[in-house]
Amino acid sequence: MVQHYNIALLGATGSIGMQTLDIIRRMPERFTLVAAVAQSRWQELAAVAREFGARRVVIGDARYEQQLRDALADTDVEVLVGSEAIEYVASTDDVDMVVNALVGYAGLHPTLRAIESGKRIALANKETLVVAGDIVMAAARDKGIEILPIDSEHSAIKQCLEGEKRESVRNLIITCSGGSLRDVPRERLADVTPEEALQHPQWSMGAKITIDSATLVNKGFEVIEARWLFDMSPDNIKVVIHPQAIVHSMVEFKDGAVKAQLGNADMHTPISYALLYPDRALEANTPFSMLDYPMLTFSDVDREKYPALDIAYEVLRRGGTAPCIMNAANEVAVAAFLAKRCRLTDIVATIRYALDNATFVERPTIEDYDRVDAEVRTLAESYIGQLNY
Ligand code: NDP
Ligand code: MG
């Protein structure tokens, strides 16, 4: 008997969401889509609900409620609206697994609600762990729930750690393609346009994470994510540049052995690994051939060009609300950069400003995180507003 899961998919219309739907579509014996969530793309959401026969859908932005209701008027699909409803569909009794592919802080409360409700969790929304990894991991431990990472680096590390003892591990080595601006000299970063920064050489992803990859904020967030998922000290989490994006990450053991996980840069592999764990999908989109990649190269990160990576280590060591402050400032600044209201280099400047000015709480509760997140959004907006860009 194979295990079957009823899925609530949060962020169904996004990059990870649509690739998750590909997998669900191909494996009806393993998965049923019960609920789907989107923010604004109501037409796509209605189409998903119809194709998969979902029982309920949530649209985050209430402005699209009526269109969505009209589009599904001839079906039995229940239409819900807003953030409370997102948490609700992550917790109903008929759901076994929550796939969280929302972007940003909006993913945190639904993850917590899913944990409280005892759901299996496949987590793409790394911001959940960046902001509140302490609280989230403690809640998961209390409930005996494993959080299955969708992020390709963390999926790779999890695969390398299978069957190994925790005390044998020396370092986790996270690979980094370098993002869309890796060949752009540091002096030119201030003049980069959103269009240029959105052209990622290896991965086709949502806009926010593509910009985070260009600034290496994403890699910094992955260090924080790894700290929580694998309970590693920041000193034992390393980052190396690997432009080919074939080695998805590595684990270095104390005996000198290094295990790496390789494959095509295709998110279907880590998504299906999280969904099916401990099973694996029985076919790949495109089989990997080593002969297509006779040269795999590795180099150090240019810390001057990418200050965000060191800031991530710094906030991780500082703890408390520091990572939450970095995350909120980054969300506001990335949105401003995409809207051409600031320069790419203002993203890191906004993060630094917020870290210097926002309330720091050493042992935050979830209410503290909510409060600090809101405070930083206001701070970051006012900082960007006075930039005269
Ligand atoms: P996208 O922007 O492509 O998709 C985001 C999805 O979430 C969309 O369905 C969007 O709805 C929905 N959404 C966004 N905000 C809200 C909200 N406030 N309430 C309800 N729904 C919301 O993002 P990605 O798929 O690229 O990324 C998702 C997460 O996965 C991120 O945390 C990212 O860092 C992580 N990740 C992504 C990878 C990738 O390859 N894309 C790789 C590794 C991690 P709508 O479409 O209506 O706007
Ligand atoms: Mg990643």
Per-residue pLDDT tens digits for 252-286: 999 999 999 999 999 999 999 999 999 999 888 88
Q: Which numbered ligand comes closest to the C-alpha of 153?
A: 2
How many Å apart are CA 329 and CA 275, to the nearest integer?
Answer: 31
Q: Which numbered ligand comes closest to the C-alpha of 63?
A: 1
Indicate if ligand 1 lies below 6 Å from the C-beta of 15: yes
Per-residue pLDDT tens digits for 124-149: 999 999 999 999 999 999 999 999 99
pLDDT at residue 204, rounded to an integer: 87
Q: Which residues surround ligand 2, an ion (CB under 5 A)?
A: 151-153
How many Å apart are CA 13 and CA 2, to the nearest integer?
Answer: 28
Q: 378 CA to middle of ligand 1, Å?
A: 23
Q: Quick one: which atom of ligand 1 is closest to the CA of 207?
A: 2
How many Å apart are CA 132 and CA 273, to the nearest integer?
Answer: 24
Structure tokens at 347: 């993203």
Indicate if ligand 1 lies below 6 Å from the C-beta of 11: yes
Indicate if ligand 1 lies below 6 Å from the C-beta of 330: no
pLDDT at residue 285, rounded to an integer: 85
> What's CA 317's distance to the chain center, in Å?
21
pLDDT at residue 177, rounded to an integer: 96
pTM, to two decimals: 0.98
Per-residue pLDDT tens digits for 17-40: 999 999 999 999 999 999 999 999
* CA proximity to 21, closest of 59, 47, 48, 57: 48
Q: Identify whether the C-beta of residue 122 lies closer than 8 Å to the C-beta of residue 146.
A: no
Indicate if ligand 1 lies below 6 Å from the C-beta of 173: no
Indicate the pLDDT class of residue 209, thresholds 50, 70 and 90.
very high
Indicate if ligand 1 lies below 6 Å from the C-beta of 241: no
| Ligand 1 atom 42: residue of nearest CA | 151
Reported as type and span, the H/E element at residue 6 is: strand 5-10
* CA proximity to 245, closest of 144, 153, 127: 153
Indicate if ligand 1 lies below 6 Å from the C-beta of 48: no
Distances (CA, A) of 306 to 191, 193, 194, 336: 15, 17, 17, 19
Q: Give the mean pLDDT of 320-340.
A: 98
Q: If you search the block for the tokens 């506001």, which residue do you land on? A: 332
- Sheet with 169-176, edge to edge strand ranges: 237-241, 169-176, 247-253, 258-262
How many Å apart are CA 159 and CA 146, to the nearest integer?
Answer: 14
